[in-house]
Amino acid sequence: MDATTRTAPVALVTGGSRGLGRALVDGLLADGWSVVTDGRDADRLAATAAELRAADPTAGDRLVALAGDAADPAHRDDLLAATDAAGGLDLLVLNAGDLGPSPLPRLADLGEDDLAAVLAANVVAPHALARAALPQLRAAHGTVVAVTSDAAAEAYEGWGAYGASKAALEHLARVLAEEEPDLAVHRIDPGDLRTDMHQAAFPGEDISDRPEPATAVPGILAVVHRRPPSGGRWQAQAVTADPTSVPQGAPS
């Protein structure tokens, strides 16, 4: 992507090699965005990028896929260099994260190192990336989407580490909305989806009754496009069913 020929808004979606991240990258490309994404498994990310380009020949160089971990400062620099080269960041989607040990342990069996690892992936790394992205986001009056979960608000046995991390991410997003009034900051719960992470939460169980990740994408895009008042929390599936449930805000 080249900023001198920018023709599309620019999104950065973390964790785009599978699950909701992949579906959202696909949806944004189809919606005309340029997308920078990443994943820790280089081979899987490369295969995903090739599949997305094959499925949508118009995507071309609007997709940049960089292998790495958002916990790595050098990788964060690379991601933001790519968005800057594309003309500047309009949308940051904090999607990547870790479930923690599988099967999910009760709090009595949750080790300190496992809890610290989940918090590092789901809270510390997203905060670091959002902080580093602020200059570009401020220039664009951009949008931040923190992908959350009902486990952030409800108590489910075994979900202590993941739920606590998502609750913390949500609170960071709420504070960011207060501190950065020129940005649109949203917390979006995609709902239970048929993903590898959800399968890891229920090892050996049949999760085929859960909807595919793509079903959450229209709701997420509706929130981004309609730009309701900053700081809100949205259920992607409900918004997909009724996009007008999201109030139309002021344009950026």
User: Can 162 be counted among the known catalytic residues?
Assistant: yes
**pTM, rounded to two decimals:** 0.94
- Our count of domains for the chain comes to 1
**Catalytic pick from 162, 180, 216, 239?**
162
H/E stretch holding 219: helix 217-226
Closest CA to 11 of 94, 74, 122: 94
133: CATH: 3.40.50.720
Helix (H), strand (E) at residue 245: none
Q: What is the pLDDT of residues 214-250, one digit of tens each?
A: 899 999 999 999 999 999 999 999 999 999 999 998 6
Structural domain contains residue 252:
no
DSSP-assigned beta bridge partners for residue 113: none
pLDDT confidence of residue 4: 44
**Residue 251 within any structural domain of the chain:** no
65 assigned to some structural domain: yes
- Does residue 120 lie in a domain region? yes
Q: Is residue 122 part of a domain?
A: yes
In a domain, 126, yes or no: yes
The mean pLDDT value for 114-126 works out to 98
177 lies in which domain range? Answer: 3-245
Instruction: Encode pLDDT of 72-85 as tens digits.
Output: 999 999 999 999 99
Q: Is residue 250 part of a domain?
A: no
